[in-house]
Amino acid sequence: MAVSDGTGKPRPEIRGDILFDHIRTLSLIGADPLGGRTRLTLTEEDRKARDILVKWMKELDLDVRVDRFGNIFGILEGKDGGKDSLMIGSHIDTVIHAGPYDGCYGVLSGLAVARAFREAGCIPGRSLVVAAFTNEEGVRFQPDMLGSLAFVGGIPADEALSVKDDGGTTVGEALSRIGYNGNEEPGFLIPSEYLELHVEQGPRLDTEKIRIGVVEGVQGISWWRVSITGKANHAGTTPTNMRHDAGYAAASVSVFLRDLAVSTGTTLATIGTINFEPGAVNVIPSRAVFTVDLRDPDCTRLTEAEEKLAEFLQKTAGEEGVRISAEHLVRFDPVVFDRGLADEIEKVAAARGLSSMRMVSGAGHDAQMMARMCRAAMIFVPSVGGISHNPDEHTSEDDMAAGAEVLLDVVLKLLGD
């Protein structure tokens, strides 16, 4: 809604009602009966969500462009004729059985900022770009944040397009199938600033009753796929000391990782997928394949955790008489965001009377890739109980509106008129 600031000039304002309605609409795409939604990247569900987003962008008369990786950009051209821009972005793909806000809140708040300009009849000094990046979650294709990584040139285009899912389908094939194989090349758009608004996905803001998180950086991420090959044998007749049990070896890695996390205090370790073969109640597993997600805000400690895991795998292979191989799926160093932008977010929050705190993100975000290209920063709002990657993910409408208003105020300061 356009509200005059007393000088007769309309001031752009966030339309919370439309923002919440858009979030609800996207949350129904890929919905399951248990209250979650699954919209893995480049699936039919993802296509439906993309189509709606593009429709909303066009309704705001944004110039919609799609690049070779399926990243979607809605451009509101500034008075400078598009010479320079500020980008607001995030993602609309989800994990399996996801909550409604992760990623969608950021993209749709970007759209709410664009709407605020349109409804106030304001043309910003520089262009505003609203972006939705492909495969942020990394569930179907690894690495995660693949769209933004490719956009900033962090992976050669052909390599990004030939990444395969578990069924052997490449990113390029999946993009063509859903009609989002655009033709913009990496680097067609180089913004000067990137902002991402996101739910915290952790408990700090909610626990400390703070409204706004000023995100100073993102912790490092290391993903592995570990394959253990032992020997299948009878569960009832094979003495323990004669087993080459891939299942037992995998379980001991899980226990080792928990001890490692507890002993460092900063490293986080998760085995999020595991599969045993042949997978029968009375057969010792001949094979175990599982993923490991290691994270730490400190690069040296992350490297130490990787080294300790490698040593443990070697020791376990010897002790249990199994073969173990580990394939590195993802390695992203910790990222530090732009200090000046963080200061701006903090000032804007204070001017709105909102409490704020500085923090490091535990989750990965497209902002960490965009930080390779331009000044980047993130704004967090509280996640109730710190729950995310779960249908119970929840943020109040008051908090979502406050985050979007802080985003708008920062954009107004940066874009000028």
How many of the chain's residues bind Mn ion (CB under 5 A)?
2
Of 74, 78, 100, 103, the residue at the interface with Mn ion (CB under 5 A) is 103
185 token code pair:
């090349």
Binding of Mn ion by 217 (CB under 5 A): no
User: For residue 50, which of 94, 95, 116, 101 has the smallest C-alpha distance?
Assistant: 94
The nearest distance, CB 69 to Mn ion, in angstroms, is 17
Of 15-44, which residues contact ligand GLV (CB under 6 A)? none
Which range binds Mn ion by CB under 5 A, 20-28, 32-40, 103-111, 189-197? 103-111
- Please, are residues 223 and 293 in contact by the beta-carbon 8 Å criterion? yes
The CA-atom distances, in angstroms, between 33 and each of 37, 52, 139, 387 are 9, 22, 21, 20
Please identify, using beta-carbon distances, which residue of 39 and 115 lies nearer to ligand GLV. Answer: 39
Binding of ligand GLV by 335 (CB under 6 A): no
Binding partner of 144, given Mn ion, ligand GLV, none, CB within 5-8 angstroms per partner class: ligand GLV
| CA 199 centroid distance within chain | 11
The nearest distance, CB 289 to ligand GLV, in angstroms, is 19
Q: Is 159 helix (H, G, I), strand (E, B) or coil?
A: helix
- Please, are residues 158 and 133 in contact by the beta-carbon 8 Å criterion? no
Binding of ligand GLV by 363 (CB under 6 A): yes
Binding of ligand GLV by 364 (CB under 6 A): yes
User: For residue 113, which of 172, 195, 232 has the smallest C-alpha distance?
Assistant: 195
Of 110-169, which residues contact ligand GLV (CB under 6 A)? 137, 144
Binding partner of 364, given ligand GLV, Mn ion, none, CB within 5-8 angstroms per partner class: ligand GLV
Binding partner of 103, given Mn ion, ligand GLV, none, CB within 5-8 angstroms per partner class: Mn ion
Please identify, using beta-carbon distances, which residue of 12 and 202 lies nearer to ligand GLV. Answer: 202
Please identify, using beta-carbon distances, which residue of 30 and 103 lies nearer to Mn ion. Answer: 103
Cα(280)–Cα(109) distance, integer angstroms:
48
The nearest distance, CB 131 to ligand GLV, in angstroms, is 17
How many of the chain's residues bind ligand GLV (CB under 6 A)?
4
Please identify, using beta-carbon distances, which residue of 137 and 206 lies nearer to ligand GLV. Answer: 137
Q: At what angle do helices 104-120 and 397-415 cross, to 10 degrees?
A: 60
Beta bridge partners of 37: 31, 98
- What DSSP assignment string belongs to 323-349? EEEEEEEEEE--EE--HHHHHHHHHHH
Binding partner of 334, given ligand GLV, Mn ion, none, CB within 5-8 angstroms per partner class: none
The nearest distance, CB 393 to ligand GLV, in angstroms, is 11
179-202 residues labelled b (16+ CB within 10 A) or e (exposed): ebbbeeebeebebebbbbbbbbbb
Binding of Mn ion by 102 (CB under 5 A): yes
**List of residues contacting ligand GLV (CB under 6 A):** 137, 144, 363-364
**List of residues contacting Mn ion (CB under 5 A):** 102-103
